[in-house]
């Protein structure tokens, strides 16, 4: 199990290659990669991600611990970037490995839902016209109720 917060670029392909490699007991590996989407006007210059360093890893480790209590996981990985990102950049990724696919899928979805609304990150969109903070979405908060 590993949690990393970094400003450096994220290489999901390389992370997947290294994740749970050499394990002969885990039949299922799921990854989720979050990518910076351009805005509807197509003029997003960058996304700036702020976080709460003293809390971030603690909060995500608690989510991973909860996921391993709920599902039978062989390994889990969460990487989240902060700082400035461009459209098309990878913001974050989650990887889960389990004997069976249902555990790997559900744990990855659980971690994503909690990361969206309970990990201390905030996103600011910068365009030619200025900067604005991304508002939390009701549907992201609602997604937590299924767990």
Binding site for a second copy (CB under 8 A): 11-18, 20, 22-38, 87-88, 99, 101-102, 104-105, 108-109, 112, 143
75, containing H or E segment: strand 75-81
3-class DSSP state of 106:
helix
71 versus 80: smaller Cβ distance to other proteins: 80
3-class DSSP state of 51:
strand
Counts of helices then strands in the chain (DSSP H, E): 4, 8
Pick the binder of other proteins from 1, 35, 86, 136 (CB under 8 A). 136
Is residue 84 exposed (0-12), middle (13-18) or buried (19+ Cβ within 10 Å)? middle
Could you say which residues in the range 4-43 bind other proteins, by CB under 8 A?
34
Contact map string, positions 68 to 107, toward other proteins, x by CB under 8 A: ------------x----------xx--------x------
Residue 80's binding partner among a second copy, other proteins, none (Cβ under 5 to 8 angstroms by kind) is other proteins
Contacts of 79 (CB under 8 A, 6+ apart): 3, 4, 5, 6, 10, 15, 92, 93
Can you give the binding site for other proteins, defined by CB under 8 A? Answer: 34, 50-52, 54-55, 58-59, 80, 91-92, 101, 112, 115-124, 133-136, 140-141
């Amino acid at each position: 199990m590993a949690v990393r917060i970094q400003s450096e670029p994220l290489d999901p392909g390389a992370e997947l290659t290294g994740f749970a490699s050499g394990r002969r007991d885990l039949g299922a590996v799921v990854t989720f990669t979050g990518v910076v989407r351009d805005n509807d006007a197509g003029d997003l210059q960058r996304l700036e991600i702020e976080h709460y360093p003293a809390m971030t890893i603690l909060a995500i480790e608690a989510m991973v611990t909860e996921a391993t209590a709920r599902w039978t996981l062989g390994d889990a990985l969460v990487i989240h970037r902060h700082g400035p990102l461009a459209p098309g950049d990878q913001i974050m990724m989650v990887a889960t490995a389990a004997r069976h696919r249902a555990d790997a899928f559900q744990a990855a979805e659980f971690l994503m839902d909690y990361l969206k609304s309970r990990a201390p990150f905030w996103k600011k969109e910068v365009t030619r016209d200025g900067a604005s903070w991304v508002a939390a979405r009701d549907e992201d908060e609602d997604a937590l109720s299924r767990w």
